[in-house]
Amino acid sequence: MTQALVDTAEGAATALRSTDAVRDRAGRLLRRARAGESAWFTVCDDALDAAAGVVADLTRTRYPDLEIPFHSRWRHFEAGGVDRAAGLQTSPQAMIDLAVVSVLLDAGAGADWSYREDSTGQRFSRSEGLAVASWHAFADGVFSSDPGDPLRVDAAGLQALTADRLGAAFQVAADNPLVGLDGRVELLHRLSGALTAQVFGGRPGGLFDALTASAQAVHAHDILAVLLDTLSPIWLSGNEIDGHPLGDCWRHAAVVGDGLTDGWVPFHKLSQWLTYSLLEPFEWAGVEVAGVDALTGLPEYRNGGLLLDTGVLRLRAPEFADRTWQVGDELVVEWRALTVALLDELAPLVCTRLGAEMPLACVLEGGTWAAGRALAQQTRGGLPPLSIASDGTVF
């Protein structure tokens, strides 16, 4: 990306919509923290190997044969040992419809919410609960405008969605509150607007046809690029450069230079989580997906919590853990950036311990996310190590 291009608002926004930019900015902040220049964190490199051991041990427990699938939403649709979405595998468009709406609903649920599945009697919380709830909402036609075709998501169906209807589908009540319900509905309304305005024939599943019209192979970053280019206006963050929306991209004073991208640190967590979750629908439809390692690790509180709980990252002041932070606060931005950069270093250490080569997507699944959750459960009853106020659209 040339300096001339990043000095235009459109060029700067485009430059920040890439995993190269995510890794570059994350790497800068990691080097700075290692040099002792961070106001928020110290990095203990001696703890990396022990963290890799925690992840490798849990990976062998969860996947003894090391046949590890990608980290994706489809694992959550299988919660409780039920393969709920198996019948969709003949329709990549329906699978993508489901994955898109479910991932956009998959930000932190809060500690007090859960979902009881009538058909199995099982109760699920957090990511699994959101996945199971969104699956049943999808199967019940909550996101479709066509009563005769419930297994779809379309612009009109999303626009008609209300907080009351989504709340009822997710069993929200005074004693079962879901964090950020209104924000989730607004996000889906914005998705409706994007679908109506420009893309995919009015439904997310049209992405499959758009990317396979002239080829039987796709690159993972191409999927992400299409999502970022077409869906960037939907995010509620309001972050933009001269009217060009940036999405999950936040300010940090230590990131300097590079024209109009000066000070911005991109993550695109939900967009990358969505990309990870679309890899299998493409593959199940017979489309080869290349370049999976172009995607980064996901900067959310399970992976970030793993690094804090294993001592790879340490807070400069213990009292930082006693307050509630906003998503855009510099401590949170830096925590997420360090998580991205350190996951790239942790993954090969995990592979070495396992004696197996695998993409980052499988290390995450094996994996870092599960280890972060397990450590949080052991130490804080499942709560993350830092409290972050959420509108339900980032964490």
Q: What is the pLDDT of residues 288-346, one digit of tens each?
A: 999 999 999 999 999 999 999 999 999 999 999 999 999 999 999 999 999 999 999 99
243 C-beta neighbours (distance < 10 Å), count: 8
The whole-number average pLDDT for the span 124-150 is: 95
Domain spans in the chain, listed from the N-terminal domain onward: 3-388
CA dihedral 192, 198, 203, 206 (to 10 degrees): -160
φ, ψ at 176 (rounded to 5°): -145, 65
Asked if 144 contacts 108 with a C-beta cutoff of 8 angstroms, the reply is no
Rounded Cα distance, 72 and 277, in Å:
4
Residue 3 has pLDDT above 50, yes or no: no
pLDDT-derived band at 138, boundaries 50, 70, 90:
very high
Note the pLDDT of residue 244: 87
Residue 4, pLDDT above cutoff 70: no
Among 317, 316, 331, 311, smallest CA distance to 375 is for 311
Global pTM value: 0.90
| Predicted pLDDT of residue 395 | 57
Tell me the average pLDDT of the chain.
Answer: 92
**Residue 360: is its pLDDT beyond 90?**
yes
pLDDT score recorded for residue 197: 64
- Tell me how far apart the alpha carbons of residues 33 and 49 are, in angstroms, rounded to a whole number: 19
**pLDDT at residue 392, rounded to an integer:** 58
Assess contact for 12 and 261: CB atoms under 8 A: yes
Which of 206, 372, 381, 385 has its CA nearest to residue 297?
372
* Phi-psi map region of 258: left, alpha, beta (phi>0 left; psi -120 to 50 alpha): left
